[in-house]
Amino acid sequence: MPKFDIIISQDEPVYVISVVSRLVSLPVWTLRQLDKAGIVSPKRLGKKNRFYSLKDVKRLEYVHYLMEEKHVNIHGIKIIIEKEG
């Protein structure tokens, strides 16, 4: 079988919301709230489908850490992320 090296940019939106939910251990409804708050902005395909990039997933891992370990709410997370630039 031939070997294929697939290179995907960190900015390429390839992960659907259900996969991201499992990867970062956050419920789908929380991901939707984070999108609504502007903390993460997945690309849209049509009106319903959100696609996340690897960069989005890494940000969501940080968000999960802030929520679970530091007990920061969504409003606080938005402030932290805006200050970090």
Which residue ranges make up each domain of the chain?
A: 15-84
Q: What pLDDT, on a 0 to 100 scale, did the predictor assign at position 62? A: 98
- Phi and psi torsions of 51, nearest 5°: -125, 125
Strand residues in 1-85 grouped as ranges (E) = 15-16, 43-45, 49-52
In this predicted model, what pLDDT tens digit does every residue of 61-84 receive, in sequence order? Answer: 999 999 999 999 999 999 999 999
Compute the average pLDDT of residues 52-56: 98
Side by side, the strands of the sheet bearing 15-16 are 15-16, 49-52, 43-45
pLDDT tier for residue 48 given thresholds of 50, 70 and 90: confident
Whole-prediction pTM: 0.89
Compute the average pLDDT of residues 31-60: 96
Which CATH architecture fits 15-84? Orthogonal Bundle (1.10)
- Residue 51: exposed, middle, or buried by beta-carbon count in 10 A (0-12, 13-18, 19+)? middle
Q: What pLDDT, on a 0 to 100 scale, did the predictor assign at position 34? A: 98
The crossing angle, in degrees rounded to 10, of helices 28-36 and 54-68 is 100
